[in-house]
């Protein structure tokens, strides 16, 4: 009985010590007092500069979707909202779209093979025309999306030249939220261009 009591007491003492010991383990950043600072709140979005002869003042127009994403980002702990209307595909979406497209091709092929044996010449011709039209439309869409010259594809100080104005300019911009009370600024990198100027 005494031996059992002794073991229980030793076990309790060990547990109590372990709590104290664990509580003294330093934080990974090595500073036990100061909590780790949250990662800087930032996210990337698209940005464009469009010359407009009718405009009377410069405007930074932020679409509501981007604003909602900003709110979500800074109020909701960093979860990125899916921008409505954007065609940014997640991995799952891309994979499933690919699978369904493959299934469509496979089913279409099987149907064509089966239809060769039976009647259905008109349907086969219609299917072939549909295929050609779809391919043509896709190719048209792809070519129609051809971008402007390289000078207008990134936001650098080179955009501030008259040659870029017919196209307008777009590129990626990083939005930073700072505590300064200054104006909204668009900072353009100039390092790469100094040598050329």
Q: Give yes or no for residue 13 binding another protein (CB under 8 A).
A: no
> Which residue, 7 or 114, is less far from another protein as judged by CB?
114
Please count the other Cβ atoms lying within 10 Å of the Cβ belonging to residue 152: 22
93 is a site residue for another protein (CB under 8 A): yes
Token pair listed for 80 = 């990125």
- Subset of 115-134 contacting another protein (CB under 8 A): 115, 118, 120, 123, 127
Minimal distance, residue 97 CB to another protein, in Å? 4
What minimum distance in Å lies between the beta carbon of 162 and another protein?
A: 25
* Residue 164 contacts residue 152 (beta carbons within 8 Å): yes
Distance of CA 127 to the CA centre of its chain: 37
97 binds another protein (CB under 8 A): yes
Q: What does the alpha-carbon distance between residue 167 and residue 176 come to, in Å, rounded to a whole number?
A: 27
Minimum Å distance from CB 123 to another protein?
7
Task: Decide: residue 45, CB within 10 A, 0-12 exposed, 13-18 middle, 19+ buried.
Answer: middle
Residue 103 burial (C-beta neighbours within 10 Å; 0-12, 13-18, 19+): exposed
Query: By CB under 8 A, is residue 167 in contact with another protein?
Result: no
Q: Decide whether 25 or 61 has the Cβ nearer to another protein.
A: 61
Residue 92 or residue 181: which is nearer to another protein going by CB? 92
Query: Residue 169's beta-bridge partner residues?
Result: 49
Q: What number of other Cβ atoms are within 10 A of residue 53's Cβ?
A: 4
> Site residues (CB under 8 A) for another protein?
63-65, 79, 81-82, 84-85, 87, 89-90, 92-93, 96-98, 100-101, 103-105, 107-108, 110-111, 114-115, 118, 120, 123, 127
């Amino acid at each position: 009985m005494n031996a059992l009591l002794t073991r229980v007491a030793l076990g309790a003492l060990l547990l109590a010590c372990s709590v104290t010991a664990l509580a003294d383990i330093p934080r990974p950043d090595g500073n036990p007092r100061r909590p780790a600072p949250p990662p800087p709140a930032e996210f990337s979005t698209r940005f464009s500069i469009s010359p407009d002869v009718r405009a009377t003042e410069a405007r930074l127009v932020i679409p509501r979707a981007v604003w909602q994403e900003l709110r979500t980002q800074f109020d909701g702990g960093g979860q990125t909202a899916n921008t409505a209307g954007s065609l940014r595909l997640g991995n799952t979406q891309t994979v499933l779209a690919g699978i369904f497209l493959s299934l469509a091709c496979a089913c279409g092929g099987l149907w064509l093979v089966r239809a060769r044996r039976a009647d259905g010449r008109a349907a086969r011709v219609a299917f072939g025309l549909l295929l050609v039209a779809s391919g043509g439309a896709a190719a048209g869409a792809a070519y129609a999306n051809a971008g402007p010259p390289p000078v207008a594809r990134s936001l650098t100080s080179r955009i501030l030249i008259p040659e870029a104005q017919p196209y307008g300019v777009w590129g990626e911009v990083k939005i930073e939220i700072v505590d300064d009370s200054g104006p909204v600024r668009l900072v353009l990198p100039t390092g790469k261009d100094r040598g050329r100027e």
